[in-house]
């Protein structure tokens, strides 16, 4: 290795070798090789995650934090190892700042309910943005209905970027919490979250980052970002469905009441007075999705071994390539042209509705997402009902982008 000074450049991914780790990528769909470009919806899983899941059920299955027997101890140990893996992955200070949830949606609902109960009163303000997923809109609407707090919305530009002046104008002494998406699932916009967090902290507001798209594709350091809460989606980052992480700063979490009541989250229960467990158990009532959490560790380890900088560089290459190719197809218009974008290309076509594009591409074995991407207010802002969206991950190739482009030419033949 030669000394170059500074950070070494991200090594190019050996994508063809990585693809062999993902059994599903070898399959055919509708008689054609699968081209999976719906990674913003869910990622495919490497063999190590699939094996960890079956190994857990074959050799380790027991309920956690309960029994004195071997399997309960074993399951508990494996469950907590994922917590430590998540702590390391996101560079949190303490493992007890990592709360396991079913998904990002549950993490946001937990914060809305629990932070809301402790810190949000009538007349207080919660700020979200126009480009949020419904899961980062509706929990706050519910909180506002319950408390009389006011929901404020950061505008977006025609290019699909947050209007930061508009954001700063909304911040004030009544702002309690800012909850924004790190990377937009619908457009791929990477938001300037460090700046957003610093401005919020300047008025004493906490910040939740919806990292459902970010965590899979870019290195996230919750301490460096100084976010108060961060949620991610395990199944979008190579993990099984049913296991995700909510990170919360200890200083907030220890002052927040439980979200759900039940087993595991208590210290002592009596009909006169129940006391609650400390962190993180207080926020993990009932038997969690243990097997999924255990296998989730294999996903963290896989991403660490590949390196998120290399993943981001590879996706950026695919994004640049796909953007140029798609723009060349007559009648195609890209939606979301922010300066800083992750590997998501959203587009519409003059002669074909996104739904029809999706069906034609499916006939070629190509999986994309079509619709409003659970972001109806954003679609309305952009004057659209729906878009077609291709989203890339570490195992996608330029050849697959070519297949998408060929498919789009077929769409034109059918509808133009």
Partner 1 sequence: MDLGALYQDVILDHNRKPRNWGELSHPARHAEGHNPMCGDAITVWVRMGGDVVEDISFTGSGCAISKASASMMTQAVKGKSREEAALVFESFHAMVTGKHDAPAADPTLGKLKVFSGVARFPTRVKCASLAWHAMREAMAAPSDTPSGA
Q: Print the binding letters for residues 157-176 with partner 1: x by CB under 8 A, - otherwise.
A: --------------------
Q: Which of 379, 401, 403, 404 binds partner 1 (CB under 8 A)?
A: 379
CB < 8 Å & 24+ apart, contacts of 10-15:
10/307, 10/309, 10/310, 10/312, 10/313, 11/307, 11/310, 12/310, 12/313, 12/314, 13/306, 13/310, 13/311, 13/314, 13/394, 15/314, 15/394, 15/395, 15/396, 15/397
For residue 248, CA distances in Å to 224, 245, 254, 394 come to 14, 10, 9, 28
Q: How far is the CB of 283 from partner 1 (least distance, A)?
A: 31
Q: How far apart are the first and last CA of the chain?
A: 54
Least distance between partner 1 and beta carbon 368 (Å):
13
Report how far residue 205's alpha carbon sits from residue 127's, in angstroms, rounded to the nearest whole number: 10
CB-nearer residue toward partner 1: 293 or 386: 386
- What is the spatial distance between Cα 325 and Cα 305, in angstroms, rounded to a whole number? 31
Name the minimum Å distance from CB 376 to partner 1: 6
Q: Which of 42, 61, 60 is nearest to 103 (CA)?
A: 42
| Kind of pairing between the strands at 150-154 and 275-276 | unpaired
Residue 279 or 382: the one with the smaller Cβ distance to partner 1 is 382
CB of 384 to partner 1, least distance (A): 8
Q: What is the DSSP letter of 220?
A: -
DSSP for 344-370, written as a single string: EEEEEESSS-HHHHHHHHHHTTEE-EE
Residue that has been written with the tokens 């996101």 in this structure: 90
Instruction: Tell me how far apart the alpha carbons of residues 352 and 416 are, in angstroms, rounded to a whole number.
Output: 8
Question: Which residues make Cβ contacts (< 8 Å) with residue 334, sequence separation at least 6?
Answer: 323, 326, 327, 345, 346, 347
The yes or no reply on residue 377 touching partner 1 (CB under 8 A) is no
Is there a catalytic annotation at residue 351?
A: no
Among 385, 397, 402, 405, binds partner 1 (CB under 8 A): 385
Size of the site for partner 1 (CB under 8 A): 20
Closest contact distance (angstroms) between CB of 362 and partner 1 is 7
**Residue placing its CB nearer to partner 1 in the complex, 38 or 315:** 38
Residues 28-67 that bind partner 1 (CB under 8 A): 30-31
* Site mask for partner 1 (CB under 8 A), range 15-34, x = bound: ---------------xx---
CB-based contacts of 273, cutoff 8 Å, min separation 6 = none
Kindly tell me which of 107 and 354 has the beta carbon lying closer to partner 1: 354
**Interface with partner 1 (CB under 8 A), residue from 119, 276, 321, 415:** 415
Q: In a 3-state reduction of DSSP, which class is residue 98?
A: strand
Report the residue number, 129 or 387, with the smaller CB distance to partner 1.
387
| Closer of 94 and 355 to partner 1 (Cβ) | 355
Return the number of the residue (337 or 376) whose C-beta is nearest partner 1: 376
Which x/- pattern, by CB under 8 A, does the window 189-228 give for partner 1?
----------------------------------------
C-alpha torsion sign, points 28, 31, 35, 38: negative
CB of 327 to partner 1, least distance (A): 23
Write phi, then psi, for 320 (nearest 5 degrees): -60, -45
Catalytic residue among 144, 227, 232, 374: 374
Applying CB under 8 A, which of residues 238, 386, 394, 403 lies at the interface with partner 1?
386
Q: Are 241 and 50 contacting, i.e. CB atoms less than 8 angstroms apart?
A: no
**Residues between 312 and 371 with contacts to partner 1, criterion CB under 8 A:** 352-356, 359-360, 362-363, 370-371
Give the residue numbers marked as catalytic: 374
Binding site for partner 1 (CB under 8 A): 30-31, 352-356, 359-360, 362-363, 370-372, 376, 379, 385-386, 414-415
């Amino acid at each position: 290795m030669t000394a170059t000074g500074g950070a070494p450049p991200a090594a190019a991914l050996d994508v063809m070798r990585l693809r062999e780790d993902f059994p599903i990528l070898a399959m055919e769909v509708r008689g054609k090789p699968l081209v999976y470009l719906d990674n913003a919806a869910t990622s495919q899983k490497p063999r190590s995650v699939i094996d960890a899941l079956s190994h857990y059920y074959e050799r380790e299955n027991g309920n956690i934090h309960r029994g004195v027997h071997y399997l309960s101890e074993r399951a508990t140990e494996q469950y907590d190892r994922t917590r430590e893996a998540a702590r390391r992955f996101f560079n949190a200070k303490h493992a007890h700042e990592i709360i396991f949830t079913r998904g990002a949606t549950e993490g946001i609902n937990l914060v809305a309910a629990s932070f809301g109960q402790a810190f949000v009163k009538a007349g207080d303000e919660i700020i979200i943005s126009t480009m949020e997923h419904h899961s980062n809109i509706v929990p706050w609407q519910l909180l506002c209905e319950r408390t009389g707090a006011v929901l404020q919305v950061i505008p977006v530009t025609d290019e699909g970027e947050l209007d930061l002046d508009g954001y700063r104008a909304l911040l004030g002494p009544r702002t309690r919490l800012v909850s924004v998406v790190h990377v937009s699932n619908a457009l791929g916009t990477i938001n300037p979250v460090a700046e957003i967090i610093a401005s919020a902290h300047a008025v004493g507001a906490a910040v939740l980052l919806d990292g459902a798209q970010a965590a899979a594709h870019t290195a996230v350091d919750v301490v460096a970002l100084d976010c108060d809460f961060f949620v991610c989606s395990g199944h979008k980052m190579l993990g099984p469905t049913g296991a995700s992480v909510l990170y919360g700063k200890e200083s907030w979490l220890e002052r927040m009441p439980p979200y759900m009541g039940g087993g595991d989250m208590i210290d002592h229960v009596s009909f006169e007075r129940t006391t609650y467990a400390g962190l993180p158990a207080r926020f993990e009532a009932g038997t969690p999705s243990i097997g999924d959490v255990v296998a989730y560790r294999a996903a963290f380890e896989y991403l660490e071994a590949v390196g998120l900088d290399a993943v981001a560089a590879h996706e950026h290459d695919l994004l640049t390539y796909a953007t140029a190719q798609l723009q060349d197809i007559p009648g195609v218009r890209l939606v979301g042209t922010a300066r800083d974008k992750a590997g998501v290309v959203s587009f519409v076509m003059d002669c074909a509705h996104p739904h029809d594009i999706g069906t034609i591409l499916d006939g070629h074995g190509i999986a994309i997402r079509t619709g409003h991407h659970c972001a109806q207010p954003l679609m309305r802002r952009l004057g659209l009902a729906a878009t077609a969206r291709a989203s890339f991950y570490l195992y996608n190739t330029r050849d697959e982008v070519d297949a998408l482009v060929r498919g789009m030419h077929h769409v034109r033949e059918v509808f133009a």
